[in-house]
Structure 1
């Protein structure tokens, strides 16, 4: 049993302080919290920058030969 900290996603029933795994009003399970990935955007941008730099180096090398 876990303590819920939000409203029920289905009916809006206040679940704070309840120790059951289901909403007492509608019987649905509360949604689990979404995992936060704060550096996910930075990792994607870094990969794009690296690919862009490699492509530029390849094009520059081809132009010089």
Structure 2
């Protein structure tokens, strides 16, 4: 209910265009942050999945080069 009162106050005090622009900017910022964070988490998870099988063949590759 507090947000409804705050929104009504903003809507009455400021012109409709400014409020709409502010809400649009806030919404796009929130969405972009969430989507970027989600993409980052997904990318890191994909990277970790790719790296997990890698340590097994790695010693076999480094051993012949040392000898």
Output the TM-score relative to the length of structure 2: 0.42
Higher helix share: 2
